[in-house]
Amino acid sequence: MPTNVEMEKIVSLCRRRGFVFPSSEIYGGLSSCWDYGPLGVELKRNVKEAWWKAMVQNRDDMVGLDTSILMHPQVWAASGHLDGFSDPLVECKSCHLRWRSDDLESDKCPSCGGELTESRQFNLMFKTFMGSTEEEANEVYLRPETAQGMFVNFQNVLQTTRKKLPFGIAQIGKSFRNEITTGNFIFRSREFEQMEVEYFVKPGTDENWFNYWLEERYNWYLNLGIKKDSIRLRKHAEKELAHYAKACSDIDYLFPMGWAELEGVANRGDFDLVQHAKHSGKTLNYLNKETKEHIVPNIIEPSAGVDRSVLAFLCNAYDEEPDKGDTRVLLHLHPSIAPYKIAILPLSKKENLATFAKDIYTNLRKHWMVNYDDTQSIGRRYRRQDETGTPLCVTVDFQSLEDNKATIRDRDTMRQIRIPIDELKTTLQTKLEGEDLFVLPPGGQIWKEG
Ligand SMILES: [Zn+2]
């Protein structure tokens, strides 16, 4: 069964523990804008890092890119965003709710029956001005997707990397859409981060590659712990397809508000390169050295939302357990995305023990994000780490000073082992990689709590 966690619980945990704060909170916040706190920024970085590892680092056929948010205005003419990236908007004169007029069946407000304004095309791109004068010639847009930065650099990447088809370009970055409706916490906001790949293939092989990427991306979520019954593939109907797409499927997650898109995988055909060649006057194609043939590659685009992934991982990980008349809240985050991998907890603040524990802390933090916590009771500290998803806690006590051993506690099972400090780094490493806690290093023993 999917975890039926309410969104309020996630929002409250995020606020309480420092994952996500409302933006500009001391001024009352700014609608649909969010700030990632000390733990949120680690989680988000780890999600992006896991994606980069899978998509770039571990592949021969992929290179990365980081393009600017502001681009030449012609880019958006070529891409179709200037004309096509708009929704017909009407506003209710009484309650001021805004609607897409093509969704409405009557000319009255569906909410209060009030009178509606004239319909106008509302472009979802944020417009701003470059330089010191606000005139039309200086109009630029905040990019509504990172994709275009990769299309316009197709030739640059090809020339500098000598990649052969099929190959891909990967990019992570912020995008901006002035959505008519936002909401569901960090699920839909006007400023958001994307993880996108543009994968260039020979025409005719595009359908196979489309299926390949759909499966590859679906498995990426499963490998990071997303429960199988909380994720699904959904093929777009013909009328849902964007103007550029030959085919598109969504990877949906079962969020508290229902199934919603986590990532879209699209077969864009040759639309983008053809459009940019036409508008720029430059040649954007690929020379097949064997056949001496110039071809325009087709493009498969797996496009994921960082913020949505973060929210999905949080919802997926959230758990509550009865605990001696109380409730233990914990996040079963996959170790590779957990904000802290390890917490060092000295049983007392006494100086000799503190020095001993700090030593361990200093050594381990070279390898992982490690948290040091010596305030309040050990029970309270374990709960705090559970609630923020720290997979392993290392506890040192006064006996440690004599036998040079420490205790490792597992977040999910609360089981413990006691091992020599010399074995600590290697053992933590193997446990974070998924080895069973009770596989013991030399000199290790199973430990009972309390
Ligand atoms: Zn109304």
**How confident is residue 323, by pLDDT bands cut at 50, 70 and 90?**
confident
* HEC letters along 91-134: EECCCCCEEEHHHCCCCECCCCCCEECCCEEEECCEEEECCCCC
How distant, in Å, are the alpha carbons of 73, 75, 143, 167 from that of 140? 6, 10, 9, 31
* Mean pLDDT over the full length of the chain: 94
Distance from residue 118's CA to the centre of ligand 1 (Å): 14
Ligand 1 centroid–CA 105 distance in Å is 14
For the stretch 82-114, what's the b/e string if a residue is b when 16 or more beta carbons lie within 10 angstroms of its beta carbon? beebebebbbbeeeebbbebeeeeeeebeeeee
Higher pLDDT residue, 31 or 424? 424
Whole-angstrom distance, CA of residue 371 vs CA of residue 361 = 8
* Distant-in-sequence, close-in-space partners of 91: CB < 8 Å, separation ≥ 6: 97, 98, 99, 116, 117
Task: Report the separation in Å between the CA atom of 85 and the middle of ligand 1, taken as the mean of its atom positions.
Answer: 25
Of 143, 203, 217, 129, the residue nearest 174 (C-alpha): 143
User: pTM value?
Assistant: 0.94
What's the gap in Å between 188 CA and the centre of ligand 1? 23
CA distances from 217 to 64, 140, 232, 256, 315 (A): 17, 33, 11, 22, 19
CA 190 – ligand 1 centroid, Å: 23
pLDDT, one tens digit per residue, over 106-131 is: 889 988 999 999 998 889 999 999 98
Whether the Cβ atoms of residue 226 and residue 316 lie closer than 8 Å to each other? yes
Q: How far does the centroid of ligand 1 lie from the alpha carbon of residue 183, in Å?
A: 19
> How far is ligand 1, taken at its centre, from the CA of residue 98, in Å?
8
Looking at residue 341, its pLDDT comes to: 98
Residue 291 has a CB neighbour count (10 Å cut-off) of 8
Locate all alpha helices (DSSP H) within 299-377, ordered by sequence: 306-317, 351-364
The per-residue pLDDT for 131 is 86
Q: Kindly give the distance from the C-alpha atom of residue 96 to the centroid of ligand 1, in angstroms, as a whole number.
A: 6
How far does residue 109's CA lie from ligand 1's centre (Å)? 5
CA of 247 to the centre of ligand 1 (A): 37
pLDDT at 1: 38
Centre of ligand 1 to C-alpha 182, Å, is: 18
Alpha carbon 83 to its chain centroid, in Å, reads 29
Q: How far is the CA of 100 from the centre of ligand 1 (A)?
A: 13
Question: Residue 228 contacts by C-beta under 8 Å, 6 or more apart in sequence?
Answer: 222
Residue 80, pLDDT score: 92
Please state, as a whole number, how many other Cβ atoms lie within 10 Å of the Cβ of residue 241. 14
Distance 307 CA to ligand 1 centre (A): 31
Domain spanning 7-71+138-314: CATH superfamily: Bira Bifunctional Protein; Domain 2 (3.30.930.10)
Give which of 365, 397, 300, 313 is closest to 13, Cα–Cα: 313
* 101-105, 204-208, 413-417: segment of lowest average pLDDT: 101-105
Higher pLDDT, residue 67 or 162: 67
Give the bridge partners for 252, in sequence order: 232, 261
Cα(367)–Cα(234) distance, integer angstroms = 40
Output the CA 353–ligand 1 centroid distance in Å: 65
Distance from Cα 41 to the centre of ligand 1, integer Å: 39
pLDDT at 75 over 80: yes
Phi, psi of 173 (to 5 degrees): -175, 170
Ligand 1 centroid to Cα of residue 255, in Å, is: 28
What's the CA-to-centroid distance between 102 and ligand 1, angstroms? 16
How much is the pLDDT for 449? 57
User: What pLDDT, in 10s, does the model give residues 175-208?
Assistant: 999 988 778 999 999 999 999 999 999 999 999 9
Measured distance CA(265)–CA(210) in Å, rounded: 7
How far is the centre of ligand 1, averaged over its atoms, from the C-alpha of 99 (Å)? 10
Gyration radius of the chain over CA positions: 26
Percent of the chain with pLDDT strictly greater than 70:
99
Residue 239 confidence class, pLDDT cut points 50, 70, 90 = confident
**CA 115 to centroid of ligand 1, rounded, Å:** 7
Angle between helices 351-364 and 424-432 (to 10 degrees): 50
CB-count exposure of residue 327 (10 Å: 0-12, 13-18, 19+): exposed
Q: How far is the CA of 187 from the centre of ligand 1 (A)?
A: 25
Distance from Cα 291 to the centre of ligand 1, integer Å: 63
Q: How far is the CA of 181 from the centre of ligand 1 (A)?
A: 15
CA of 245 to the centre of ligand 1 (A): 35
Q: Judge residue 425's burial from the number of C-beta atoms within 10 Å of its C-beta, 0-12 exposed, 13-18 middle, 19 or more buried.
A: middle
CATH code for the domain defined by 340-447? 3.40.50.800
- Greater confidence (291 vs 38) lies with 38
176's enclosing H/E stretch is strand 167-176
Alpha carbon distance 221, 213 (integer Å) = 13
Q: For residues 264 and 254, is the Cβ–Cβ distance under 8 A? A: no
CA 14 to ligand 1 center in whole angstroms: 33
Instruction: Please write down the long-range contacts of 126-132, taking CB distance under 8 Å and 24 or more positions apart.
Output: 126/176, 126/177, 126/178, 126/190, 130/70
> How confident is the model over 269-278, as pLDDT tens digits?
999 999 999 9
CA of 92 to the centre of ligand 1 (A): 5
370 pLDDT band, cuts 50/70/90, is: very high
User: What is the whole-number distance in angstroms between the Cα of residue 116 and the centre of ligand 1?
Assistant: 8
Query: What whole-number distance in Å separates Cα of residue 344 and Cα of residue 394?
Result: 5
Question: In the predicted model, is pLDDT for residue 4 greater than 80?
Answer: no
Cα(191) to ligand 1 centroid in Å equals 27
Q: So where are the chain's domains? A: 7-71+138-314, 340-447
Do residues 94 and 115 touch, judged by C-beta distance below 8 A?
A: yes
SS3 of residue 162 by DSSP = coil
Q: Tokens 């030739």 identify what position?
A: 155
In this prediction, residues 75-94 reach a mean pLDDT of 91
For ligand 1, the distance from its centroid to the CA atom of residue 184, given in whole angstroms, is 21
Distance 112 CA to ligand 1 centre (A): 4
Q: Write out the two tokens for 156.
A: 């640059």
Output phi, psi for 170, to 5 deg: -120, 145
Question: To 5 degrees, how large is the angle CA 151–CA 157–CA 161?
Answer: 155
Residue 240 has pLDDT above 90, yes or no: no
